[in-house]
Amino acid sequence: MPSSKTAKSASNKPAEEQNTRMSMLTSKEASQGTQLHVPPAINAETLGADISQNVVEKISALMDKKFEELSATLNNIAAKVEANIERITEAEHRISAAEDSMSAVTPRLAELEAKVRILTEKCSDMEGRSRRDNILIYNLKEETEGRQPVAFFEHWLPTLLNLETKRGIIKIDRAHRSLGPPRPDRPRAVIIKLHNSGDKSRILTTARKQAPLTYEGLTVFIRQDITAPVKEMRRAFNGVCERLIKRDVRFSMRYPATLTFTHGGKTRSFRSPKDALAFLDELD
């Protein structure tokens, strides 16, 4: 009969084998489970290529957008430049046409200017000749002459200047005040048209000799009636006249503006103030 120890070991042997088998199975399953959860190995070259491809695509898209904007801007600039070129070309054609027209007009303009200058001088001369028998009386009270100025001045002039005349009058064609409204503080000038040219010279000469002339408490002045251009021409000789007065040289102004005086027994005449000043400088 087998012993109890032997029987016990025989009964425990299948249990140990079963435990061993279960332990091996658990280790295998655990090994398989661990293998399922481990991620695959990462390839560095593939990852770098993907990143590079992504960056290149983004940069390309950005550059394409920028190039499209730049192209649109350049097209706009090109259109404006083209329009400016057309405008400049048109302007050049117009300027060229204007220059051609001016080249033809310039001689004609010079001719017309010469004619206008001649006509202006003739008109000034005619106006001066129409006034050569006129005298002006300044600072005579308004309404002194009354309603018949011609009759009043025919007697007034010889009386004021103590001139000897036939029948005691100086014949006058017209007499009137200058244009403009009367002013109490400044009487208008009286314009008198004499019938005889010789009477004008006598009146002006006597008025210079008897200056100052007074009437009703006011100093009156009698002057020759000349045009504005002639006044300007004569005014240009003021400096020369002042120097002649200092030298005690008698002079006269011939119409329209010719300065005349005697020096060294010779009569000198000057139409230009510069020439007269140069002559006086030589004397100094």
CATH, residue 208: 3.30.70.1820
**Based on the domain organization, do 202 and 217 belong to the same domain?**
yes
Label residue 162 by pLDDT band (50, 70, 90).
very high
**Predicted local confidence at residue 86, as pLDDT:** 93
The answer as to whether 44 is a domain residue is no
**Based on the domain organization, do 194 and 220 belong to the same domain?**
yes
**Based on the domain organization, do 212 and 241 belong to the same domain?**
no
**Predicted local confidence at residue 114, as pLDDT:** 95
**Predicted local confidence at residue 17, as pLDDT:** 53
The answer as to whether 103 is a domain residue is no
The answer as to whether 29 is a domain residue is no
Q: What is the pLDDT of residues 197-247, one digit of tens each?
A: 899 999 999 999 998 999 999 999 999 998 888 889 999 999 999 999 998
Mean of per-residue pLDDT scores for the chain: 84
Label residue 51 by pLDDT band (50, 70, 90).
confident
> Which of 203, 225, 247 is where one domain is finished?
225
The answer as to whether 82 is a domain residue is no
> Which of 200, 225, 250 is where one domain is finished?
225
Label residue 53 by pLDDT band (50, 70, 90).
confident
**Based on the domain organization, do 197 and 134 belong to the same domain?**
yes
**Based on the domain organization, do 131 and 149 belong to the same domain?**
yes
Label residue 4 by pLDDT band (50, 70, 90).
very low
Q: What is the pLDDT of residues 10-36, one digit of tens each?
A: 444 455 555 555 555 444 444 444 444
- Read off the pLDDT of each residue in 137-156 and give the average, rounded to a whole number: 94
Percentage of residues in the chain with pLDDT exceeding 70?
Answer: 85
Label residue 73 by pLDDT band (50, 70, 90).
very high
**Based on the domain organization, do 177 and 216 belong to the same domain?**
yes
The answer as to whether 109 is a domain residue is no
Give Cα 133 distance to the centre of its chain.
Answer: 46
Structure tokens at 123: 């008109």
**Based on the domain organization, do 139 and 201 belong to the same domain?**
yes
Domain count, the chain: 2
**Based on the domain organization, do 219 and 247 belong to the same domain?**
no
- Read off the pLDDT of each residue in 176-190 and give the average, rounded to a whole number: 90
The answer as to whether 81 is a domain residue is no
Query: Residue 244 belongs to a domain with what CATH number?
Result: 3.30.250.20
- Read off the pLDDT of each residue in 116-132 and give the average, rounded to a whole number: 90
**Based on the domain organization, do 221 and 275 belong to the same domain?**
no
The answer as to whether 253 is a domain residue is yes
Given a contact cutoff of 8 angstroms between Cβ atoms, the answer to whether 154 and 169 are in contact is yes
> Which of 225, 241, 274 is where one domain is finished?
225
**Based on the domain organization, do 232 and 284 belong to the same domain?**
yes
The answer as to whether 94 is a domain residue is no
User: The domain containing residue 133 runs over which residues?
Assistant: 127-225
**Based on the domain organization, do 215 and 232 belong to the same domain?**
no
**Based on the domain organization, do 193 and 204 belong to the same domain?**
yes
